[in-house]
Amino acid sequence: MYCYQCQEAAGGVACKSQKGVCGKPADVADLQDLLIYALKGIAQAVERGATRDEEVDTFVITGIFKTITNANFDGAVFEKDIAQALEIRDSLIQSAGISADTDALSFHLKGNLLDAVLRKNKMVEKASEVGVLATENEDVRSLRELLTYGVKGIAAYYEHAANLGKKDTEITDFIYKALAATLDDTLSADDLTNLVLECGKFGVNVMALLDAANTEAYGNPEITEVNIGVRNNPAILISGHDLKDMERLLEQTKGTGVDVYTHSEMLPANYYPTFKKYDHFVGNYGNAWWKQNEEFKSFNGPVLFTTNCITPPAKEYKDRIYTTGAAGFDGCTHIAADAAGNKDFSALIAHAKECEPPKEIEKGTITGGFAHNQVLALADKVVDAVKGGAIKKFVVMAGCDGRMKSRDYYTDFAKALPQDTVILTAGCAKYRYNKLDLGDIGGIPRVLDAGQCNDSYSLAVIAMKLQEVFGLEDINDLPIVYNIAWYEQKAVIVLLALLSLGVKNIHLGPTLPAFLSPNVANILVETFGIGGVGEVEQDIKEMITA
């Protein structure tokens, strides 16, 4: 096992012992590497002219998504997917009449070896030959992994959009191109750097696609006071990012006497007009993903994970964990879609009826729903506040939360911001400050939550609109600073997307990615002015009051 794809990589270097910091066992990490490698083989065949169909796209995209941090811990799922990936690869190669000659594909086809190994059930041994360390040059390795993680983020967002019927072959074409490129020894570091930047452009496209999918299906998010208390009915908690699953669950629980609450990244479902119509949709329970061990015990009812972030469940509640889509955990019930694409959540509903109602852990409300449409509806007010000097700066604090103590920085930073600043947020990073009473500026709350991590797209739309209103040539001339918290690979694509929009001087924390080699980190620093974070007081001086 050698995994360094997330911010919590052991020792700031990599998880390489029996278990990752996230709880991913070494054999599952190896199987994930093998699956990614097998999917790269499909990509090579596609790049060599094989015709893939939507079924192949779905398989590849979901496969990539399953390898994102905290999405799927089930080794059996990966074994099955690896075998299926090789079958798909071989049938693509055969139908396109591709021969294993001396070009890039031959690298993977040496992988007849891979097939032989698989037949002998020795997948894990093979994994060490195809994982991160298979690339010797540390800069090439760093760029290949950066590209792979960006693609993981694209795949995750693409899957949610596709679940709502929105597809775009330009995006899937890029996924194959990028995956195949990570096995191409003829590409230079410059070529790979260009691909990483192109990846950012597709990051913008996929977030726009998902934004259209979500808003066309469920309406534009609107200002909402979300209840964080509980009612006295049995209930189901839904976590993750997939809004189609949210809709299915609300429909199927209607009239059953079972309430529904959101958890972590599903909180923004409360902001959508369509979902507000369900009387049994009570509000949000708990905080960011890493507190689930405690909060799921007191929730009492079943929990449905539609995506990451799962932490290994404690035995007290493991039987109440259900997964669907790309999510999975061995020993927990997985609810797959049937051939017609429907999902049956009746087992969860029956389970909920046997459980006690949730125990109250908080009371009151939190405010959100400031995606682009809502903020632009307030544009006059916002522009007046900026012109009149009531708002001096916007601080984009989007991204992820995590369990490390060092993330207290973001709470302290939010508290220390001057009163004439407004935080623009998206993603689970918000839980570090969305329950602080930071007040408002002339009726504009000082924390504007656009939604899930993918709704960082909204923040970019807002920035571009302000640039237009103020007649600025450069997006970096706006009074906006970026202090972004990252954890997993969706944050990587959000970062690359912002870079592709020309945003400079982004601060990234709480630590820079372990997968950036010193030279690659330098490129990011020199070209885009990317920086880390330090002490709150000093950072406030440098970013805000300077």
- Contact residues toward ligand SF4 (CB under 6 A) are 3-6, 8-9, 15, 20-22, 24, 29, 69
Residue pair 343/327 in contact (Cβ under 8 Å)? The answer is no
**400 is an interface residue for ligand FS2 by CB under 6 A:** yes
**407 is an interface residue for ligand FS2 by CB under 6 A:** no
Phi then psi for residue 19, to 5 deg, are -150, 140
Q: Tell me the DSSP string of 275-287.
A: HHT-TTEEEE-S-
Q: Which listed residue (24, 126, 430, 490) binds ligand FS2 by CB under 6 A? A: 490
Smallest distance from ligand FS2 to CB 158, Å: 14
Residue pair 213/506 in contact (Cβ under 8 Å)? The answer is no
Residue pair 282/230 in contact (Cβ under 8 Å)? The answer is yes
Q: Which of ligand FS2, ligand SF4, none has residue 452 at its interface (CB below 5 to 8 Å by kind)?
A: ligand FS2
Query: Residue 402: which of 520, 313, 484, 279 has the closest Cα?
Result: 484
Query: Residue 236: which of 334, 72, 351, 362 has the closest Cα?
Result: 351
Q: Which of ligand SF4, ligand FS2, none has residue 400 at its interface (CB below 5 to 8 Å by kind)?
A: ligand FS2
Smallest distance from ligand SF4 to CB 29, Å: 6
| Amino acid identity, position 212 | A
**487 is an interface residue for ligand FS2 by CB under 6 A:** yes
Q: Is 199 annotated as a binding residue?
A: no
Residue with tokens 């601060």: 507
Residues in CB range of 351: below 8 A, 6 or more apart? 301, 302, 320
Smallest distance from ligand SF4 to CB 3, Å: 3
- Rounded to whole angstroms, the Cα distance separating 290 from 247 reads 25
Part in contact with ligand FS2 (CB under 6 A); list of ranges 187-195, 221-229, 373-381, 482-490 = 482-490
- Rounded to whole angstroms, the Cα distance separating 172 from 87 reads 20
Residue whose CB is less far from ligand FS2, 155 or 428? 428
436 vs 61, 121, 494, CA distance in Å? Answer: 38, 53, 25
**Which ranges in 164-291 belong to alpha helices (H)?**
169-181, 189-218, 243-253, 273-276
Per-residue mark of binding to ligand FS2, 230-259 (x: CB under 6 A)? -----------x------------------
Smallest distance from ligand FS2 to CB 83, Å: 28
Residue whose CB is less far from ligand FS2, 243 or 309? 309
- Rounded to whole angstroms, the Cα distance separating 323 from 350 reads 16
Q: Which of ligand SF4, ligand FS2, none has residue 6 at its interface (CB below 5 to 8 Å by kind)?
A: ligand SF4
Smallest distance from ligand FS2 to CB 264, Å: 5
Q: Which of ligand FS2, ligand SF4, none has residue 320 at its interface (CB below 5 to 8 Å by kind)?
A: none
Q: Which of ligand SF4, ligand FS2, none has residue 305 at its interface (CB below 5 to 8 Å by kind)?
A: none
Q: Is 355 annotated as a binding residue?
A: no
Q: Which of ligand FS2, ligand SF4, none has residue 236 at its interface (CB below 5 to 8 Å by kind)?
A: none
Where is 385: in which H helix or E strand?
helix 379-387
The footprint of ligand FS2 on residues 5-64 (CB under 6 A) is none
| Amino acid identity, position 513 | P
Residues in CB range of 335: below 8 A, 6 or more apart? 304, 322, 323, 324, 343, 344, 345, 347, 348
Residue whose CB is less far from ligand FS2, 6 or 180? 6
Q: Is 488 annotated as a binding residue?
A: yes
- Rounded to whole angstroms, the Cα distance separating 360 from 451 reads 24
Residues in the chain: 546
Query: Residue 207: which of 504, 509, 501 has the closest Cα?
Result: 501
Q: Which residue is nearest to ligand SF4 (CB)?
A: 20
Q: Which listed residue (81, 449, 488, 539) binds ligand FS2 by CB under 6 A? A: 488
Helix, strand, coil abundance in the chain, percent, nearest 5: 50, 10, 35
Smallest distance from ligand FS2 to CB 210, Å: 12
Q: Is 332 annotated as a binding residue?
A: no
Number of residues that bind ligand FS2 (CB under 6 A): 14
The footprint of ligand FS2 on residues 339-378 (CB under 6 A) is none
Residue pair 403/8 in contact (Cβ under 8 Å)? The answer is yes
Q: Which listed residue (34, 171, 428, 447) binds ligand FS2 by CB under 6 A? A: 428
Q: Which listed residue (261, 289, 299, 394) binds ligand FS2 by CB under 6 A? A: 289
- Rounded to whole angstroms, the Cα distance separating 157 from 149 reads 13
Residues in CB range of 220: below 8 A, 6 or more apart? 273, 371, 373, 374
Q: Which residue positions form the known binding site? A: 3, 6, 15, 22, 241, 265, 309, 400, 428, 453, 488, 490
Annotated binding site for [4Fe-4S] cluster: 3, 6, 15, 22
State the binding site for hybrid [4Fe-2O-2S] cluster: 241, 265, 309, 400, 428, 453, 488, 490
The residues binding ligand FS2 (CB under 6 A) are 241, 264-265, 289, 308-309, 400, 427-428, 452-453, 487-488, 490
